[in-house]
Structure 1
Amino acid sequence: MRQAPKAPSRSSAGHALRNLFIVGCVLLWLVPVYLLLVNAMTPPTSYTGEPDWSPQGFALFDNLEVAWDQAGIGDSFLNSMLYATVCGLAAVVVAAMAAFAVVVLPIPKPSLWFWVIYSGTLFPLQIFLAPLFGMYADANLYDTRLGLMLVYAAWAVPFAFFLIRNQMTTMPPEVTEAAMLDGASFRRIFWRIHVPLMSSSLGAAFIFQFTAVWNDLLFGITLSRSPEVQPVMAALTTLNNAYSSSGPPVILAGALIVSLPTLLVFLVFRGLFLRGIAATAR
């Protein structure tokens, strides 16, 4: 006798639903990207006022040139590259030292120090804006690169500390004890042993902080106003106001310029990023 076909198992149905959910998430991300690319290459004179789903011409390079040179995105782009790179590196170094102190050094109440440092990620950024504005105005740090770099570096430390500290707690204490028996100082243990072993988590922390500083808007529009100091996200809002009459194509070309660095950083260092996330999640 012929056997009746088996009903689909729950596992196969769950697998199909998971794949459908993933495809939906991918489409939710790809559709705005597609609209950004199509409308960024549209000539401003051909823009009808509604989003175009198909190319109406090709003026991408002209729109990029207007956004980069005439609208001043280029100067702010270089400012953000400086802020994101320098402040990201500084935050990772300070966070690694703080994690080493909390996990390895014999300090009293390490859990208390952990929460003191990590609490910097628990408060909304808006509560810092008014005090920082007044303090920066009194200290002549308002609308200066140094002022923005100080606040970006300090803001990036707590989350980088959280990531690095998570991996450092998984390192066996016998490594530190053996180095101390050989006469190594804590400074030597940190730079020669812990930093090389934590390279993946340090890299992941830097990618996180580079992206966070690059995408910041609140501090940029609150603590700066001149094009020579403003980060690129603040300059993008200025571009939106200045070129709103010429249509979105120039503005979208500026948004395309702004989105490239973080995308390239992730694509180039995705292996290091994934290893760092896996290491900190243990």
Structure 2
Amino acid sequence: MGRTVRHLFVAGCVLLWLIPLYLLVVNALTPATEYAGKPEWTFQGFAFLDNLDTAWNVAGIGDSFQSSLLYAVVCGLVAVLVAAMAAFAVVVLPIPRPAFWFWLIYSGTLFPLQMFLAPLFGMYADANLYDTRIGLMLVYTAWAVPFAFFLIRNHMTTMPPELTEAALIDGASFPRIFWRIHVPLMKAGLGAAFIFQFTAVWNDLLLGITLSRSPDVQPVMAALTTLNNAYSSAGPPVILAGALIVSAPTLVLFLVFRGLFLRGVTASAR
């Protein structure tokens, strides 16, 4: 009886997730001229490429897509590298009060992002970083470090300290130990952290609409709001086609590296 209830519950959750996805796909394929003003439950044609062309070229979502790809890849990689170095310092290096440094870095995940928006906006305006790619890359990298640090640090604590002791006896320096021993052994954890941070940066809306406004600087989620407001007369199918193509990178990334992601999360949870 209990197993049946669990299966029904899981099936219900899957159904609740699939219904909106089905509506998204069906209405993204619907020709904008044939949209009746309410969600379509059956296929009315195949106009996805026309809808996507309007969203990508006319509304300019293509520039924002490329910007978000740059932000997610570069900021995710830099954040993971910085987080790995910080985790190595806290776990391996003989620094005083490692628990203090852990909580100091990890506290970046404990405060709501909204409380930083007003100071960030003022600071960016004074430093001429507002509406610049470098400005967004700086804040995305700093925002991504604390959680990546948490994951990588947890993974690093599972590694036997005898590895470091043996390397030190052989005369290896701490940088050599980090790059030659810890990084190769933490590939799964580093990969999982990167996937998390890529997804977080890619899906960001709040920082994007606060710190940028130009189409070639704005991240893609902020561009979707512009598409919804400025091109609402084109019809929901155009907006939904843009939303569908925007959701593809994170889905593809997870499907391609799901094995690495699961191994990394499992190792970090031990």
Q: Same fold (TM over 0.5)?
A: yes
Structure 2 CA distance, aligned partners of 1:21 and 1:89? 38
CA distance in 1, matches of 2:45, 2:81: 48
Counterparts of 2:61 and 2:18, CA distance in 1: 25
Cα shift readout 1:163-196 (whole Å, capped 9, x = no counterpart): 0000111111100000000000000000000000
Alignment of 1:52-201 (within 5 A): 52-201=40-189
Q: Secondary structure at the match of 1:245?
A: helix
Whole-angstrom distance in 2 between the partners of 1:179 and 1:133: 47
Q: Find the residue that maps to 1:226 and give its secondary structure.
A: coil
The size of the alignment, in residue pairs, is 270
The counterpart of 1:232, out of the listed 211, 216, 220, is 220
2:36 aligns with: 48
Structure number with larger C-alpha Rg: 1
Distance 1:132 1:96 in 2: 26
Query: Which 4+ stretches in 1 moved above 3 angstroms?
Result: none
Q: What percentage of residue pairs aligned between the two structures are identical?
A: 80
**Offset, 1:257:** 1.1
In 2, the alpha carbon distance for the partners of 1:188 and 1:265 equals 31
Residue aligned with 1:51, SS: coil
CA distance in 1, matches of 2:88, 2:12: 42
Give the root-mean-square deviation of aligned CA atoms. 0.6
- For 1:3, the equivalent position in structure 2 comes to none
Tell me the amino acid that sits aligned with residue 28 of structure 1: L
Tell which deviates more after alignment, 22-31 or 75-84: 22-31
- Which of 126-135 and 51-60 deviates more? 51-60
* C-alpha distance in 1 between matches for 2:93 and 2:11: 48
Whole-angstrom distance in 2 between the partners of 1:267 and 1:104: 33
Alignment TM-score, normalising by the size of structure 2: 0.99
Superposition TM-score, scaled by structure 1 size: 0.95
Given the alignment of the two structures, is residue 204 of structure 1 paired with residue 192 of structure 2, yes or no?
yes
